[in-house]
Structure 1
C-alpha cells in the first residue's frame, strides 16, 4: 500500500469514471469504455493512461486509449455485470451500498453503488418504499446499470432474481425469504419487508 508513485507517473494516473476523451477521437481499449449516450470514453479502473497509435494501414485512424492497472486488480464493475453489494445507508429515494463481488470475483478496491427508487423493481415503481426494500447490512444481488456520478455505480434490482439475498433480523439471525416482499426471522418469527431476490424454486 504505502508505495510512493514517481512524480512523472502521477499526472497520467486516472481513476474509474474519469473522462479520457471523446469516442470520435479515441477508441476504448483495456481499462476503458465508451458511454453511448454522450460518446465519451471513460476509465473503468485505476491506473496509468496510455495511447496506442492505430496501425498505419487501418481505415480507423483513432488511437486506442488503455488504462493499465498499477497493481494486480480484483474485479471491476462494468455496466451489465451482476454484483453482490452490502447496503450501507437507506434513504427515502435511494440506498447506498458497497460492492463486494462482481459476478463470483471479490473486488479489491472500494466501489460504491446507489440503488435509486426507480430501479428497485420493475412494477409499481412509484410505490416503492426504500425502507421496506432494504436495510443497512443487507447483502443484495444487483445489476450495474451505469457509472453514476460521484464515483458511485447506479445499480438495479428490478429483475426477479435480483434483490436481497441475505439479511440479518433484529434478533441477529439470518432471515429466510417467505415471499417476494417478506423475510422472516427464524428465531423470533418476526416478518420484515424486503425486496427479495428469487432463489431456485421460490
Structure 2
C-alpha cells in the first residue's frame, strides 16, 4: 500500500518513476525518481493504470493586486470624498487574505467627475468590480470604477433583497420596488 498525503520539502525523493508513478504538478523526474519542487503535501491521483504524483504548497497564497488588474471588492465605508473597500478576488482567483483599498471621488466615473456623489454611487455592503490603479500609498490600493464595465455588481436593499440594475445609475429592490442610486457596472457576458 502506498503512503499518500504526506508532507515533503523541496528536493525530497518521493517515488520511483515508472509506469505506475508519473510526475505531476509540483514535482520533477530525475535519474528514475520523482522529486518534489516545493514544500507541501504529496497527493497521489490514481488513474486507470498509473498514479500521478503531485505536490501542493501549504504556503499562503502569493498573488497580490497589481496595477491594471480587475478586482472584486466589498464596500465597507462611504464618505463624501471616497469609499473604503476590501479586495476579495483578483480576476477569478479568490484571495486567502483581504487587501484594503479605496475608491476616490474622482475615480468613480470617466465623465462629470465633479458631480459625483459617493453616497449615490456606493453603499456599505455593495460588491463592486474595479480596476487597480498604480500604487501611491503603502498598505492601501487605489481602485477605479470609471469604465462602463466597472462599478456595483451586487447590492442589497434595506429589506435584505438582492437588488437588480434598472439603469447605469439605479438599482431596484424586487420586493419593495424602491429604486436606489448606484454606479452600476455594465456586466458583459463572457465571449463578447
Q: TM-score, normalised by structure 1?
A: 0.63
Structure 1 residue 85: Cα displacement: 0.1
What is the rounded CA distance, in whole Å, between the counterparts of 1:93 and 1:155 in structure 2?
14
1:73 aligned onto 2:98: no
Maintained 8 Å contact 2:72/2:89: yes
Report the CA distance between 1:71 and its aligned residue. Answer: 2.6
Which has the larger Rg?
2
Report how far residue 72 of structure 1 moved. 3.0
State the partner residue of 1:135. 123
Report what 1:90 is aligned to. Answer: 78
Structure 1 stretches of 4+ moved >2 Å: none
Selected match of 2:88 from 97, 100, 103: 100
Q: CA deviation at 1:107?
A: 1.1
- Could you tell which deviates more after superposition, 142-151 or 123-132? 142-151
Task: Pick one of 141, 156, 176 that aligns with 1:168.
Answer: 156
Distance in 2 between residues matched to 1:163 and 1:156, nearest whole Å: 9
Once the two structures are TM-superposed, the CA of residue 108 in structure 1 deviates from its matched residue by: 1.3
Q: CA RMSD in A?
A: 1.7
SS of the equivalent of 1:146 reads coil
Name 1:57's counterpart in structure 2.
Answer: none
1:75, 1:101 within 8 Å by CA — same for their partners in 2? no
Matches of 1:74 and 1:191, distance apart in 2: 41
Q: CA deviation at 1:144?
A: 0.1
- 1:74·1:105 contact (CA, 8 Å) conserved in 2? no
Say whether the 8 Å CA contact 1:167–1:175 is kept in structure 2: yes
Q: CA deviation at 1:73?
A: 1.1
Point out where structure 2 has 5 or more consecutive residues left out of the alignment. Answer: 1-57
The residue number in structure 1 matching 2:170 is: 182
Asked if structure 2 preserves the Cα contact closer than 8 Å seen for 1:177 and 1:183, the reply is: yes
**Corresponding residue number in structure 2 for 1:199:** 187
- Give the deviation of 1:109 after TM superposition: 1.9
Secondary structure of the equivalent of 1:174? coil
CA-to-aligned-CA distance 1:4-58 (integer Å, 9 cap, x gap): xxxxxxxxxxxxxxxxxxxxxxxxxxxxxxxxxxxxxxxxxxxxxxxxxxxxxxx
